Amino acid sequence: MQQLETRDQFNQLKNNENVIFVFSAGWCPDCRVIEPVLPEIEEKYADFTFVEVNRDDFIEVCQEHDIYGIPSFLAFMNGEEAGRFVSKDRKTKEEIIQFIDGFAK
């Protein structure tokens, strides 16, 4: 999974690609729990670019998109928000797949 490096990169990706942003932080234990299943999820949804967004490095992006809990997921297709799975709760592999299945048809 690629790491978000700049705010411009975020805007480029959201406007030009089918992308799922994974908001996370190194100190977040719930984020570490889902890390082992993310490569499998990325492989299953190869039509999407998965990008990890470090919440601490991109707090303004989080605020602009109402990301107030992590881990959280924000998807864009054709420049439009396609889905959001945003909360402070721990996510399971099944919940993440169900979320993506909701818009990745």
pTM: 0.95
Out of 22, 31, 38, 61, pick the active-site residue. 31
Write the DSSP string, 37-56.
GHHHHHHHTTTSEEEEEETT
Q: Does 28 participate in catalysis according to the annotation?
A: yes
Q: What percent of the chain has pLDDT over 90?
A: 92
Are 61 and 8 in contact by the 8 Å Cβ rule? The answer is no
Terminal-to-terminal C-alpha distance of the chain: 22
pLDDT of residue 104: 87
Q: Does 62 participate in catalysis according to the annotation?
A: no
In words, the CATH class of domain 2-101 is: alpha beta
Tell me how far apart the alpha carbons of residues 7 and 61 are, in angstroms, rounded to a whole number. 7
Phi, psi of 101 (to 5 degrees): -60, -25
Digit-coded pLDDT (tens) for 37-78: 999 999 999 999 999 999 999 999 999 999 999 999 999 999
